Copies of this chain bind each other. A is one copy, B any other.
């Protein structure tokens, strides 16, 4: 299920991830997605740590479509891939699978912009990021 994704993670469901509907709470999928995004960022920058005091990536928008409700115990299998690079942002697409049920549970898309934490404004996508993403995704020509 994860073979088409350049970045993958496995995260066990915690009991406390479930809410009063006795399913994994909707916000938990986005918390997993957040760590997947960090892993993707780490992968295309060759391990440069996110440094929140300088220029960095910020999440401008995300969505999540819920397909199958996960429960504890289970393990979330998470795949992250590029969806699109635009001039001033790039889009990731994250698929979350239930290992126990071998089913797609949720899909999230995220719009990411570069932000200059010193100038306190949006910055153009650094060239090194674009090259890193293209290399990671096998798009480099």
Instruction: Tell yes or no: A64 within 8 A of B by CB.
Output: yes
Q: Is the interface of A mostly helix, strand, loop or mixed?
A: mixed
CA gap between A65 and B10 in the complex, in Å: 27
Q: How many residues of A contact B (CB 8 A)?
A: 32
Residues of A1-55 contacting chain B, CB below 8 A: 9-12, 14-16, 18-22, 25-27, 30-32, 34-35, 38, 52
Which residues from B are CB-within-8-Å of A72? 20, 35, 38
Chain A positions within 8 Å of B, measured between CB atoms, are 9-12, 14-16, 18-22, 25-27, 30-32, 34-35, 38, 52, 58-66, 72
- CB pairs A–B below 8 angstroms (26 shown): A12-B12, A12-B35, A15-B19, A15-B20, A15-B35, A15-B38, A16-B19, A16-B27, A16-B31, A16-B34, A20-B52, A20-B72, A21-B52, A26-B30, A26-B62, A27-B27, A27-B31, A27-B34, A38-B72, A58-B66, A60-B65, A61-B63, A61-B64, A61-B65, A62-B64, A63-B63
